[in-house]
Amino acid sequence: MSNKQLQASTDLFIRQFKWPRIVAVASVIAMCIFCIGVSRPDRTVPLPPGPRPAHKSSGSLPQGFSGLTHLLHWPLTPGDGGDLLASTSPQTSTYHLRSPAQTSYALGGYLEAIIIARDHQGRPKAHGGDLFRAQLLGPDLKAGVPGDITDLENGTYLLTLPLLWAGKARVRVRLIHSSEAVGVLRGIWRDQWATVDFTGYFRGPTGYEETVTCNVNPLLIGEEEGTCHYRDEDSGELWFCARPPTLPCDSLVGHSSGRYWNVTTPHEEALLARNVTNKTLPQGIPPIWVAQENNRSLVLSPPQPCHPGIPAPRPSGFYHQNVWHSLSCSGRSFSTADSILGCLAGRVVHMMGDSTLRQWWEYLRDAVPALKPVDLHATYHTGPLMAVDTARAIVLHWRAHGWPLRSLRTPVAALHSVVRELGGLAGGPHTVVVLSLGAHFTTFPPSIFVQRLAGVRAAVAALLAREPRTLVVIKLANTGYKSVYGSDWFTLQVNRLLRAAFADLRVAFVDAWEMTSSLALPDSVHPGRCVVRNEVDFLLSHVCPT
């Protein structure tokens, strides 16, 4: 990062904080005020008594706040009084069909079921807030679709499963987190300024190095005077490191993840323990049979070609024979290297984000031998990575989004903010931009992600304004994590923010949440080749819709 872009200063955090100008995200910004305003000092990391980033001067909580509360709504969980046995149990909770079982069901119809949450002693719960995930699976057909779950907020949940293929299907319901465990996660988002920290590496002229702690909030680091502040000129994004013992602030050269903090009490840890997390409920519905309809064995994708701005139904698609069938547009399959090359010819694809998007880049590199990786920087797992086919004028870029990236040590100069990268693109009919943000933001209050999204949204809007023919694709975050640092519950919320931030822009979404939660595969934040192939096929369906 050049000195122009990386400006070390000792200005106060408050003075540096620039509200993004985007009105549409203003409501979301209000959350920043709220979160930071009500934060209490971290339990395990001593905080200096100095000033809080008080936004009292900004006066009232803006009216937009209610919009964000609505967006992130989750039923409140009354405390469990410290009694683990009173939390929701995957062993005693059950589900059953809402109406009598039929010998066969109609393709295109729905199966409805009721989930009844109970505690470890078998007592029905009286409130909602549990995070269940359900699927309808057709293992013989390699088919699957996520179920939609409505919290009736009285300890029961309505489960709706669309019947999209003919043949055998079975229901699987998992308790991901009890409502009490969700309460712990919610409390962490409300009360902690961060659950991880980072390491900054400073280097002097002789090669001598000093390492310190860095983070998104100066108050997590130390006294105001003892902090180095970094502000990205293009995006306004802020970053803070403790002042190194002898080296100056502008000698920051390296970045890596740091420690995962202990932010839970033993009771909270028990609520999030493996033995109660991500557990399948006892089978409540025998396998069902879905009959063919007019000799059709599948619900078909709508005939319209894929393009940005199509509102996505829920679910947005399903798998059949391990192929994702979109329900928003007519997705295509790119099963050969030639079909991929034909689609990408003459295009430059800019992928920016996290490692789940790097999987797309790696998939294309591996599936298409003609795409030659240019491995100059491959030693850094933050990229940038590039693969090219000079004969067909294809360039495929991937680079990690900037701070607060959890990574192995990487040069700070190679960590570019997405906003800066977007600002450097001319765009046009040959430019494809793919963004994936979220997984590295679950370790901070949502305000941090909201701030970041506001900047990225503005940069995407500006890109589309100067070149409306640019294709912008937003990859939502994957299911997989089950801990206090990253969890499906955080991811669910992060995806709500992503959708809201880009809702009124002409972008395409790849619903990776659904695509990583529809098959009978183990949850993994880095899904296997089958899922990645389908995600990339859906991307290519937007690049080459016909």
Ligand X SMILES: *[C@@H]1O[C@H](CO)[C@@H](O)[C@H](O)[C@H]1NC(C)=O
Residues near ligand X (CB under 6 A):
120, 152, 154, 156, 262, 265-266, 270, 273, 275-276, 278, 280, 295, 482, 522-523
Identity of the residue, 92 or 417, whose beta carbon is nearer to ligand X in the bound complex: 92
Closest CA to 509 of 446, 401, 431, 436: 436
Taking the complex as a whole, the smallest distance from the CB of residue 116 to ligand X amounts, in Å, to: 8
Taking the complex as a whole, the smallest distance from the CB of residue 298 to ligand X amounts, in Å, to: 12
Taking the complex as a whole, the smallest distance from the CB of residue 109 to ligand X amounts, in Å, to: 20
Nearest residue to ligand X, scored by beta-carbon proximity: 522
Identity of the residue, 9 or 262, whose beta carbon is nearer to ligand X in the bound complex: 262
Closest CA to 265 of 348, 315, 191: 191
> Taking the CA of residue 510 as centre, how many other CA atoms within 13 Å lie in the half-sphere pointing to its CB?
33
Alpha-carbon distance of 293 to 295, in angstroms, equals 5
434 contacts 352 by C-beta, under 8 angstroms:
yes
Taking the complex as a whole, the smallest distance from the CB of residue 152 to ligand X amounts, in Å, to: 4
Closest CA to 58 of 19, 11, 13: 19
Taking the complex as a whole, the smallest distance from the CB of residue 275 to ligand X amounts, in Å, to: 4
Alpha-carbon distance of 446 to 39, in angstroms, equals 12
Identity of the residue, 113 or 351, whose beta carbon is nearer to ligand X in the bound complex: 113
Identity of the residue, 86 or 395, whose beta carbon is nearer to ligand X in the bound complex: 86
Alpha-carbon distance of 349 to 536, in angstroms, equals 12
Taking the complex as a whole, the smallest distance from the CB of residue 520 to ligand X amounts, in Å, to: 8
Identity of the residue, 280 or 333, whose beta carbon is nearer to ligand X in the bound complex: 280
Identity of the residue, 227 or 355, whose beta carbon is nearer to ligand X in the bound complex: 355
Taking the complex as a whole, the smallest distance from the CB of residue 479 to ligand X amounts, in Å, to: 9
Dihedral of CA 496/499/504/505: which sign? positive
Burial track 372-388 (b if 16+ CB lie within 10 A, e otherwise)? eeeeebeebebbbbbbb
Identity of the residue, 98 or 466, whose beta carbon is nearer to ligand X in the bound complex: 98
Taking the complex as a whole, the smallest distance from the CB of residue 519 to ligand X amounts, in Å, to: 11
Identity of the residue, 273 or 393, whose beta carbon is nearer to ligand X in the bound complex: 273
Alpha-carbon distance of 322 to 402, in angstroms, equals 34
Identity of the residue, 175 or 341, whose beta carbon is nearer to ligand X in the bound complex: 175
E strand intervals along 266-384: 279-280, 288-291, 317-320, 323-326, 348-353, 372-374
Alpha-carbon distance of 498 to 438, in angstroms, equals 8
> Taking the CA of residue 375 as centre, how many other CA atoms within 13 Å lie in the half-sphere pointing to its CB?
4
Taking the complex as a whole, the smallest distance from the CB of residue 292 to ligand X amounts, in Å, to: 8
Alpha-carbon distance of 441 to 406, in angstroms, equals 10
Taking the complex as a whole, the smallest distance from the CB of residue 285 to ligand X amounts, in Å, to: 17
Dihedral of CA 56/60/66/71: which sign? negative
Closest CA to 143 of 318, 327, 287, 297: 318
Alpha-carbon distance of 146 to 392, in angstroms, equals 39
Alpha-carbon distance of 508 to 310, in angstroms, equals 7
Taking the complex as a whole, the smallest distance from the CB of residue 203 to ligand X amounts, in Å, to: 33
Alpha-carbon distance of 541 to 537, in angstroms, equals 6
Identity of the residue, 76 or 273, whose beta carbon is nearer to ligand X in the bound complex: 273
Alpha-carbon distance of 438 to 91, in angstroms, equals 32
Alpha-carbon distance of 62 to 55, in angstroms, equals 12
**Strand order in 156-162's β-sheet?**
94-97, 110-116, 156-162, 148-151
Token readout for 90 is 């995957």
Taking the complex as a whole, the smallest distance from the CB of residue 359 to ligand X amounts, in Å, to: 17
Identity of the residue, 299 or 474, whose beta carbon is nearer to ligand X in the bound complex: 299
Identity of the residue, 54 or 273, whose beta carbon is nearer to ligand X in the bound complex: 273
